[in-house]
Each structure stands twice: as structure tokens, then as C-alpha cells.
Amino acid sequence: MIPIRTIAFLVTTLASAGLAAQSGPPSVLRFDAAYHLGEYGVNVPSSAAALPRVFATRGDVMLRADGTQSATVTTRDLYANPAFDRTATGTWPGTWFVSPDGRIEIDSGGVDVMDWWIAPDGAAIVGTRSRVRTDSYLLVALRKGNGLGLGTASGTYRLVQVTLRFDATGGIEGETVRGDAVFDGAGGFRLTGTRQTARADGTFSHAPASLTGSYTVAGDGALSLGAFGTGGIAAAGEALFAADLEPRAIRLTVAVRKATTLDLRDLTGSWGFGYQELLTGTGVDHPLTYTYNGEVVFTATGPAVGSYARSGFDVESTPVGTRAQNSIAAGQLAIVGGDTLRADPSDPEPLDLAVTPGGTFLLGSQLFGVTEMFLGLRICGGSHNFGTATPGLGSIAPAIGMHTFPLLGNAAFAIELADGRSRAPAALVYGLTPQVAGLPFLGGTLHVDPAGLLGALPLTLAADGSASVPFAIPNDPALDGFELVWQEIVADAAGPAGFALSDGLVTRMCR
């Protein structure tokens, strides 16, 4: 229950907010930023006319405040027959957009559309295949920094490495290394763990993995990880990756700095998850690739016990076909050994995840014969658009979104309006309860339940039909998970009853 004093504060804050119109599109994040990017994947086509392949990509991606993007990346494609192997460079022109639920949509000029996850501050991106395609991949991108160096990588990291190759029979073989890597902050690291080899015939074996190597870190975070290839490191050093494009093998290595002590209560909330696996074997439906892209919500009933609920989209591809479906599941969580988050602890094959000290990244892999990697990113989830909009002039409906994420203590948060009639009077309606089905109102549909109505703010839209309403969110722990519902109403003579209405927007505050 939110205290009455807190609700009163929210209403007062909104009622006194500056209402001068400021133009701006409803993408949640807008900035100029460059990223180091790495990716690995496998393509198992269902058509006999296409050839299986494994691939990896590394390079730089640039996101611009105007919503455009470009890249300079190199991709290595490997086939059973080396004569078909190729290395290609790409620029990935297109657009990007961040939605209220924490997803970043990358549209490569209509060639492909990707839905990935982005950190609330835009510092990291993780993603997997989220469309019905036969190629299965896992991707990580870390924003470039300034003034970084060898000392950025220091301490103990959980490392997961996936290597894919073709064996002498033309079958795909997967290798997973999982272990702890100690970086000395001076250019050296030591890895101790387990190596799993999953052969094309479905058999697998385990062996100790031990390696001493060197690394370099450039000022912008570009990372060279010895024999593991090149990639990037986060500005605070909490995560790093390297992609390797060998002549007959591709590899992605990801590592996250391990927290020494975990409290599940500090990890509650939403996480964007990417998961990729390869299951080898000799049946007609093997090899099999699987990707999951979705949101996982953690809850805690104590410092070491809790549960999770996940919802998302998975894609499975085999030589006999490709299947895609919505994926919903739930299970238990436990902290084991003080520093490991275990999913489904009573399962014969539980998943152990390492968590960064700041609770930003999760990383894990199981070693039960499947070549796989789990990568999670803390997001500010739960906010979303819903319902239907009522168009006005030109059959265009007003759009409603938000600027930045509703993090506790975020003084830059704002509700953003777009696509309204130029310079038209408008109102921003807000309340406590969504009206999902909607109520008939002013010739359109009202999505703020009148029973929970808090108020309506008068606005005058800018020449381009936009407005921005600032709302500095208090740094009050009682607001974690608190939701408000918003809708824009615009005076528009072309609307059904002289008004045009946006769809609804739910904003969920998070820490």
C-alpha cells in the first residue's frame, strides 16, 4: 500500500509541473552513443537447398539521437565445406527506438527487425533472435567509455565461452567453457573451470579448463583478450566480452565480475534475458537451435529465497522445420554459497547464475550436454502502452510515451506526447488504474479508470504536435513498483467528436 502522503506528493508534483510544450518523439531514450558489439550464432535451415552455418560478428555500432544507427562490423560465416566460408563487413544502416518496457528495436532498413534489451541508462544491450528465422544468435553490446585502462578489468569474473565449429564429418560441434577468471588489473588473467565438448553425434564430455593469458584495454574500452579475440569492457569493468573469428571456428566469451555476497531482495524486479542453445545429435530433428528472448521478474521472500516468472518469445529451428511461440514459465530461486543465484534449485539440472556487484548483469550456463549461454540485463520493466487510440486530422492518432525510465530519484523523467494537431489545446489525464477495455469518451476510448482518476493537466501542443511534461520522481523506496496510468486528449475538429485521443500508457517505477 502506497502511503497517502506519497500519493499526495505525486499529485502535487504533477499539478505544479512546468507545462511549456517541448517537441520530442516518444522514444524513451535519445542520445548519441557508440558501442562495442559481439555476437555468435548458428543457422539450421529446414530447406535442403540451404546449408547449415555457424557465425560470429564483432565491431562498433553507433546510435544517434535522431533515431538513426550505423555500424562497422565484421562477420565470419563457416560451413561444413570450407570452400563456402566467408568474411564480410557490414554497416547495418537503419533506425532504433526504445519502448517503455525496456526493449530497443533495431530496424535494419526493413531487412530485419530485432527486439533486444537495453539498460535504463543505455550503457549495455543484450539480445537474441525474436523473429521467426532459422538463424539463432546471442548478442552483447557495451557502450564505449573514456579514460579506461588495464585497471578497469580487475577482480574475479564468472566467464562463459561458447565455441562452434564443423567436425570432419560436416556436423556442428559445440564447446562451452565455464569458470572463474581472475584479472589482475595489470594485463594478466587466469582462468580455472570446466570445458564441455558436445559432439555432432550428441555425445559429450567434460575436462578441466585452465589458462593463463594477457589482455589490453584501450581508452574507449576496446578489449583484446589474448587468444579469445577482441571486444569491449563496460566503463565500470563489471562486464566484458570478446569475439573470435578463427579460420574454422567462431567464439564468443562473456565475463561478469562476481559479487562476493548476494541478497535476493536487492535483485527483485525485471530482467531482460537472452538465451541461446545448440543441441547436437543424429536424429532427423537435430541439430536443434533454440533462443529465448523475454522478461524475467524476480521476487524475494527472504534474503536467500524467492521465485521468478518469465514471459517472452522462443524460436526453435531444426532440419525439419522452425517453431516459434510465446513462452511463459515460473519457478523458484535461491542464493547458494553466498555468491550464486540458482534457478530451480530442486531441479536435477539447476541453472547457476553469477551476478555483478551492482546487480546489473547475470551470466550462466549449464553443462549437461547442451552448448548454451544465458545473459541477463537489469531493466526498468513493466511500463507499457495499451488499448486503442482515436485519430484526428489526417487519420493520425496522438502518441504517448516517456522520456527516460521511471527510476526512483530520476529528475529527468517526463511524459512525452507526439503526433497531435499543431498548437492544439490538449490535456494529459492521469490516474491510478488502467481501463484496459476502455470506456466510450469524447467519441473515442478512455483508458484511465475514472474511479482512480488523479487529475488532468492542460497543455498547448507545439507546432509539430508534441509536448513534454516533466515529472521528477522522488527517491522513495515505497514507490518501487508503483504504477500510474496516462492518456493524452487533444482538441481536434477532425476527430469523431472534435477530439483525438492517444492510447493508454502505464508507467511502473523501479529502482
Annotate 117-182 with DSSP letters as a single string.
EE-TTSSEEEEE--SS-SEEEEEEEEE--SS--GGGSEEEEEEEEEEEEE-TTS-EEEEEEEEEEE
Q: Does residue 431 share a domain with residue 478?
A: yes
Poorest-confidence range of 15-19, 211-215, 445-449?
A: 15-19
Q: Does residue 422 share a domain with residue 362?
A: no
State the total domains in the chain.
2
All cell numbers assigned to 119: 539498460
26 pLDDT band, cuts 50/70/90, is: confident
C-alpha–C-alpha distance, residues 251 and 368, integer Å: 20
Residue pair 390/496 in contact (Cβ under 8 Å)? The answer is yes
Q: Does residue 124 share a domain with residue 258?
A: yes
| Residue where a domain terminates, one of 378, 395, 428 | 378
Q: Does residue 236 share a domain with residue 277?
A: yes
Supply the CATH number for residue 467's domain: 2.60.40
C-alpha–C-alpha distance, residues 76 and 485, integer Å: 47
Residue 450 has pLDDT above 60, yes or no: yes
22 pLDDT band, cuts 50/70/90, is: very low
Q: Does residue 257 share a domain with residue 159?
A: yes
Residue 84 has pLDDT above 70, yes or no: yes
- Tens of pLDDT, residues 306-357: 999 999 999 999 999 999 999 999 999 999 999 999 999 999 999 999 999 9
Q: Does residue 253 share a domain with residue 168?
A: yes
| Residue where a domain terminates, one of 351, 378, 405 | 378
Confidence (pLDDT) at 46: 83
Residue 116 has pLDDT above 90, yes or no: yes
Q: Does residue 286 share a domain with residue 195?
A: yes
Q: Does residue 484 share a domain with residue 462?
A: yes
Confidence (pLDDT) at 269: 95
Q: Range of 423's domain? A: 4-28+382-508
Confidence (pLDDT) at 289: 95
Residue pair 411/404 in contact (Cβ under 8 Å)? The answer is no
266 phi and psi, to 5 degrees? Answer: -85, -10
Confidence (pLDDT) at 67: 93
Residue pair 299/307 in contact (Cβ under 8 Å)? The answer is yes
Poorest-confidence range of 113-117, 153-157, 498-502?
A: 113-117
Q: Does residue 45 share a domain with residue 22?
A: no
Q: Does residue 300 share a domain with residue 156?
A: yes
Q: Does residue 166 share a domain with residue 86?
A: yes
Confidence (pLDDT) at 497: 95
Q: Does residue 307 share a domain with residue 181?
A: yes
Residue pair 179/159 in contact (Cβ under 8 Å)? The answer is yes
- Looking at the chain, the whole-number percentage of residues with pLDDT higher than 90 is 88
Residue pair 432/484 in contact (Cβ under 8 Å)? The answer is yes
| Residue where a domain terminates, one of 350, 378, 406 | 378
Confidence (pLDDT) at 111: 65
